C-alpha cells in the first residue's frame, strides 16, 4: 500500500523550516545526491561538513556553495577516503576536534558495479570495504558525538540490496571465487542496511536518543555508476539517464534529507521514491523485504565488521 503520509506529492523540502544551529555531516558531496542534499540543507541555514576523498574537488565545491549561498554559508570539508580505514580514523578524529555537535551523519558516499575484483588498502573487497566497513567505522567513532546531540544516523542504501544472493557470503567476503560486479554491490548495500537495523536493535536496549534511518535515492541521475562502473555499465546508465525512468539528482537527495530532518518517521523502514518500481515518484515509506533484517545474519555481520574494522561499539 502506497505511503500517503506526506500527501500525493510525497515529502519535499517545502516541509523544512529553518535549520539554523543544526549541523549535518555528509559523506560523498562533490556530485550527485550528496551535493544536492548539501545545497538543500544550506538553503535552510544549516551547517554542513562534507567528508570527501578528493580535496581539490571539495575546495571547488565549497567555493561554489559560498558563491550560491553567500560568504557566511557554513560549509566546510574534511578529507576522508572511505576505502582506507586509517583515513577514516584520521577524519573522525578531526571531526571530533572541530565539530562540536552532529545533528545527523548521512552515510551517502558509495562506489558501484566495480567491473573486476579490487581490494582496498586494508585487503577488503572494494565495494564492501568502502560502502560498508568505512561507514561502520565512521559511525562508531562519531557515535558519542551524535549521541550528545540526540542526533541521527542516516544510511543511504540502494534497491540493489534486493538483487544478488540476498544475504552475506560469509565464507568468502572478498568474492575471490565468484566475483560479480552487481552481486557484490548488492551485498555491500545489504550490509549497510543490516548495520543500520542491527544498530536500531542495540539502541532499543539502552536509553540512547539516537535515531537510525535507512533510505535510497531510487533511479537518480548521479555520478555513482560513471565513477566506478565498467564501460558497458556506464554507457547503459548514460542512455537510461536520458529517459523519464531516471529522476534528477536533486530528487534523489530528498529521501536522505527527509531522514535527517523529519520527525515521526519509522525506524524499521526503507524510505525513498514510491512510484513505479520505487525508482521515482513521491518520496515516502517504501517496501522493505525481510532479508534485510534477518537477525542471525545481522548479528554475524556485526561481529565480522567489528573484527574487520577494529571498532568495538560500547552499546
Tally of residues, the chain: 315
HSE (CB half, 13 Å, CA atoms) of 14?
A: 7
- Residue 146 CA to residue 61 CA, distance in Å, equals 25
185 is catalytic: yes
Q: List, in sequence order, every beta strand (DSSP E) within the chain.
A: 23-27, 47-52, 75-79, 104-107, 152-156, 211-215, 271-273, 283-285
- Residue 153 CA to residue 41 CA, distance in Å, equals 16
What are the residues facing 212 on neighbouring strands? 153
Contact 214, 155 (CB under 8 A): yes
Give the residue among 15, 170, 199 at the shortest CA–CA distance from 107: 199
3-state secondary structure of 139: helix
- Residue 65 CA to residue 223 CA, distance in Å, equals 19
Buried b (16+ CB within 10 A) or exposed e, 42-66: beebbbbbbbbbeeeebeebbeebe
Residue tagged active-site, from 185, 213, 271, 293: 185
Cβ-based neighbours of 16, under 8 Å, separated by 6 or more? 40, 44, 257, 261
- The helix or strand, by DSSP H or E, that contains position 199, with its residue range, turns out to be helix 181-204
Catalytic residues: 185
Amino acid at each position: 500500500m502506497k505511503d500517503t503520509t506526506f500527501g500525493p506529492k510525497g515529502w519535499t523540502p517545502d516541509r523544512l523550516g529553518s535549520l539554523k544551529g543544526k549541523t549535518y555531516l555528509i559523506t560523498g558531496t562533490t556530485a550527485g545526491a550528496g551535493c544536492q542534499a548539501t545545497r538543500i540543507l544550506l538553503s535552510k541555514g544549516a551547517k554542513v561538513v562534507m567528508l570527501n576523498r578528493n580535496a581539490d574537488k571539495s575546495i571547488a565545491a565549497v567555493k561554489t556553495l559560498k558563491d550560491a549561498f553567500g560568504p557566511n554559508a557554513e560549509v566546510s570539508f574534511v578529507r576522508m577516503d572511505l576505502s582506507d580505514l586509517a583515513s577514516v580514523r584520521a577524519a573522525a578524529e578531526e571531526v571530533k576536534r572541530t565539530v562540536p555537535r552532529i545533528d545527523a551523519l548521512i552515510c551517502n558516499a558509495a562506489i558501484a558495479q566495480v567491473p573486476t575484483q579490487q581490494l582496498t588498502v586494508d585487503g577488503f573487497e572494494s565495494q564492501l570495504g568502502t560502502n560498508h566497513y568505512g561507514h561502520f567505522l565512521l559511525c562508531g567513532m562519531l557515535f558519542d558525538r551524535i549521541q550528545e546531540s540526540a542526533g541521527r544516523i542516516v544510511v543511504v542504501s540502494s534497491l540493489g540490496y534486493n538483487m544478488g544472493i540476498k544475504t552475506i557470503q560469509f565464507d568468502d567476503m572478498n568474492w575471490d571465487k565468484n566475483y560479480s560486479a552487481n552481486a557484490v554491490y548488492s551485498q555491500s548495500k545489504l550490509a549497510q542496511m543490516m548495520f543500520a537495523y542491527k544498530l536500531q536493535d542495540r539502541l532499543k536496549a539502552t536509553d540512547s536518543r539516537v535515531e537510525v534511518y535507512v533510505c535510497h535515492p531510487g533511479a537518480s541521475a548521479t555520478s555513482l555508476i560513471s565513477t566506478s562502473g565498467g564501460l558497458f555499465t556506464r554507457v547503459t546508465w548514460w542512455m537510461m539517464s536520458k529517459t523519464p525512468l531516471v529522476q534528477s539528482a536533486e530528487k534523489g537527495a530528498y529521501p536522505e534529507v527527509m531522514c535527517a530532518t523529519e520527525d515521526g518517521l519509522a525506524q524499521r523502514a526503507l524510505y525513498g521514491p514510491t512510484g513505479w518500481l520505487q525508482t521515482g515518484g513521491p518520496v515516502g515509506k517504501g517496501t522493505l523485504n525481510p532479508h534485510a533484517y534477518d537477525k542471525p545474519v545481522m548479528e554475524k555481520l556485526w561481529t565480522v565488521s567489528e573484527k574487520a574494522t577494529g571498532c568495538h561499539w560500547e552499546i
